Chains A and B, each alone.
Chain A
Amino acid sequence: MNRHADTVQKQPVTPERVAQVMAHCVATGDFVNFRFIFAPFSPLRNDSTENLDSPKYAYLLPEDTSDPLYLSALEAISKPEILDHVMAQLDRKGPPQYPWQPLLMLADNATRLGKFTMASQAYELLRVRRRIQEQYLELGDEAFRQGNIPRGVLAYRVACGLDYDYAAFPEPLPAVPNYQHTALILHGDFPETLEQSVPLRPEPEFVRTGLVYLAGNAEIAGRLDAFDHETRREILAEWIRSADTDWPAFAARYREALRLAEAYNRRVREIIEKSGPHAVEMALDEETASLPVRAQVLLSGRQADNLEWWQCLKELAASHPAGALFVTRAVVVGNREVLLPCYRGDSPLPAMIGLAENASRETPGHV
């Protein structure tokens, strides 16, 4: 087969091209590509058979060479002490020694771009990750003391984003949120009484649980114990609002689900008062009996009414993590277990985040 037309003759890799590729990685906060530059099969190595001019490596080069981040990275990398070191590493056999300055720039850019797993890996390699994380937490505490809750929450969220999971197997990795899993743990035990239900726990305990759940790190969330309860409640509300772009849409669905659950609740109470609990199954019409499942469908955001409660919880936790804090497991007519909206009527928190019309609701939305 003649593949001559596809074959591109490899040109010697010049320091300028190496600088361009590296500047692109730094500007985009791409730690994976940064490490790839130094890999034994990297197209930037003259002794590698891989060719940088091949179309498959086009992603290594910048599309926009006028981007200020790219230009500032290029200027820093083009300094002789850095570029000479990089070229020496590319000519060397064996594990490379990365230059620290571009790596630090890369980590900072990745943080600004919200690429926290990239940033944390770069900071970890620089052995400064924990101290950088601590700086963000200090800035967060400072903002909370000044009453600037949004800035404080932002600082804490950045710090959580830079977290590392040392228990990851086989090697430590950046910690990533796994709300689908943690939400299941949160609702692992069926609430036999109202008090056992997660959203109906005493408010200080609920706020603490919510912060630990959202932060994904009990130690970081534990720092917030230094603030009074009102501040921590505001922090939780701000965290919920700011971490979820679609929260208002979810809140609207939640309120609708709550109306359905309450309509079901009312009808069940009427039947119990009139004929006793044994009559509920017989007396309930089909339309009312379907209300809890319809509420569950609204919460999960999926148009499937045959999902189990835990499937709905995982869907909910993946799309709106904080939503899992305001639901409970319940058994409804037909002995079916479903997920229903639920919150404390005496807590101002649901109204603060748009789940309740007002804060003085008497009855929690619980079946």
Chain B
Amino acid sequence: MNDTPRETGYVDYVALLGLPPDFKPGDVRRVYRKKMKDLMVEISRAEITEERKNHYLLQIAQLNAAFYILRDRERGEKYLADRKEVMDLEEEWRTHADDPEKSDQLRRRFDQTLRAFLSTYLEELMLEAGRDPECVECSHWDAAHERHASRVLRHYRQRLYQVIHERLPYYDITPPRIDWEERMDVARKTLDFLSEAGQHSVAGGHAS
């Protein structure tokens, strides 16, 4: 996918399948089957670690969702309209970021729309796609996949939310001015301090 920076995070299923803007349902089916077959071949050849298992599960779920959403004209059009709406809302908020009153209203509306978009198209419909007979046939998706995927998809959705959130105007804190070279020195000094204090005081790497 080659999203522009402003589009990053708003999953683009058309680009995921590599479809032209004027695609037809027949194109969706043909491309989906080919991509899924290639992915299955890749998975069968790869050594499956925990990390790769999650990665492949997400890839299968993404392809299934792309196919499930775009093959149905009505569902596909709604998805494209919702995606455009949330991206436009982000843009609108950005243009009014200096107006505190309007900005706060727009931010709340955008946040609500964004959460609804992500949970619908990156979680609910992804799981629903996994139960579709055609997706099950191509991807061999079953109940065990769904159980494992629900956590992976929640992680994916929240990660994308964070990716979008990180590029938005600051509203909950004053905009930080971080000197990253200085930060590296702080990290070095922190390690020096922890080494001197005795590593055991770090309480096992995860603490507090």
- List the interface of chain A (C-beta within 8 A of B): 85, 94-100, 103-104, 108, 110-112, 114-118, 125-128, 131-132, 135-136, 139, 150-151, 154-158, 160-161, 165-167, 169, 172, 175-177, 208, 212, 214-216, 218-219, 222, 239, 242-245, 321
Contacts and interface: CB of A to CB of B under 8 A. Distances in A.
A150 B202 CA distance: 13
Interface of B: 49-51, 54, 104, 151-152, 154-155, 158-159, 162, 165-166, 170-178, 180, 183-184, 186-188, 190-191, 193-195, 199-208
A111 B190 contact: yes
B156 to A, nearest CB: 8
B190 A112 contact: yes
Given A116-B208, A212-B50, A154 B191 contact: yes
A127 B190 CA distance: 20
Nearest to A122: B173
B173 A97 contact: yes
Contacts of A167: 151-152, 154-155, 158
Given A98-B173, A99-B174, A177 B204 contact: yes
B195 A127 contact: no
A131 B207 CA distance: 20
B165 A127 contact: yes
Contacts of B188: 139
Nearest to A119: B208
B191 to A, nearest CB: 6
A161 B195 contact: no
A95 B108 CA distance: 12
Chain B residues touching A, majority SS = helix
A95 B172 contact: yes
B184 A115 contact: no
25 contacts: A85-B174, A99-B173, A100-B173, A100-B174, A103-B173, A110-B208, A111-B190, A112-B194, A114-B194, A115-B208, A116-B207, A116-B208, A118-B208, A125-B173, A135-B183, A136-B191, A139-B187, A151-B191, A158-B202, A160-B206, A172-B158, A214-B205, A218-B49, A218-B54, A242-B200
Nearest to B54: A218
A100 B104 CA distance: 19
B191 A100 contact: no
A169 B154 contact: yes
Nearest to B163: A130
Given A103-B173, A114-B202, A127-B166, 14 more contacts: A95-B172, A100-B174, A115-B207, A117-B208, A125-B172, A125-B173, A128-B183, A135-B187, A157-B205, A166-B155, A172-B162, A175-B206, A177-B205, A243-B205
Contact of B176 (A104, A150, A208, A243): A104
A215 B50 CA distance: 13
A98 B162 CA distance: 19
B206 A222 contact: no
Nearest to A247: B200
A283 to B, nearest CB: 44
A50 to B, nearest CB: 23
Contacts of B200: 242, 245
Contacts of B51: 218-219, 222
Given A132-B187, A176-B206, A177-B204, A151 B195 contact: yes
A100 B171 CA distance: 11
A114 B207 contact: yes
